[in-house]
Amino acid sequence: MVGLREPGLPYGELEALRRPLLRTTVLRLLLGVALAAVLVAALVLAWSRDA
């Protein structure tokens, strides 16, 4: 992203702000995938007990 620096932020500070944001985004994505996997497993268990 060349040339998209925010005004008023010194060079490098934008990267320092972006890194934790990326980490929290990845954590949220992993948590969402884990939650979806648990829900799918619960549905499969419920359906297998009915059959």
pTM score? 0.59
* 47: Cα separation from own chain's centroid: 30
Question: Quick one: average pLDDT of 6-26?
Answer: 75
Question: Quick one: average pLDDT of 44-50?
Answer: 92
DSSP 8-state secondary structure symbol assigned to residue 1: -
Q: Residue 30: which H helix or E strand, with range?
A: helix 13-50
> Measured between alpha carbons, how far is residue 4 from residues 20, 21, 28, 33 in Å?
19, 17, 26, 32
Q: Where are the domains of the chain?
A: 19-50
CA angle 41, 23, 12 (to 5 degrees): 165
Strand, helix or coil at 11?
coil
Question: Quick one: average pLDDT of 27-32?
Answer: 97
